[in-house]
Structure 1
Amino acid sequence: MSVQAYVLVQTAVGRAVEVSERIRTLPGVRVARDVTGPYDVVVEVEADTMDDLGRLVVAQVQQVPGITRTVTCPVVNL
């Protein structure tokens, strides 16, 4: 069974579209959508294990230029 999560992303001003387009290309990313509100991009990710999920978020998503902050929300009930 895989692990899923939502990653809430804040970006530098004016960078949301660029950030979401880049995030969409990462393996493990199911959906990345630009939104309004306190976050600029909401990302749905999936990985084999919680460790793999952590590596995906820290080593790939958070490294996208233009991101200022992320909050990861693991799905607890599929």
Structure 2
Amino acid sequence: MVQAYILIQTEVGKASTVAETIGKLPGVIQAEDVTGPYDVIVRAQADTVDDLGRMVVAKVQGVDGITRTLTCPVVHL
């Protein structure tokens, strides 16, 4: 199982709607709207890195109102 944080920038005024929509996607553990350089932070999981990438590109980035994403895989050192 691979987990990652997905940092999301949204159009002005869309953070709450984006977080709510993404929170319902399969594989999303948590989605919160936040303040700072990013508007939404998501914790997600998938079986493989490839599955995680497909989820981000096909599902997360397809949500209306998103302008940019940054995916940060969780590592266990």
Q: TM-score, normalised by structure 1?
A: 0.97
AA matched with 2:24: T
CA RMSD across the alignment: 0.9
Specify the alignment match of 1:18 in structure 2: 17
User: Which segments of 5 or more consecutive residues in structure 2 lack a partner in the other structure?
Assistant: none
Q: Could you tell me how far apart the structure 1 residues matched to 2:43 and 2:52 are?
A: 11
Q: What fraction of aligned residue pairs are identical, expressed as a percent?
A: 68
Residue 63 of structure 1 aligns with which residue? 62
Matched residue pairs, number? 77
- In structure 2, give the amino acid aligned to 1:64: V
Q: Which stretches of structure 1, 4 residues or more, deviate above 4 A after TM superposition?
A: none
- Aligned positions of 1:1-78 closer than 5 A: 2-77=1-76
Q: Tell me the TM-score normalized by structure 2.
A: 0.98
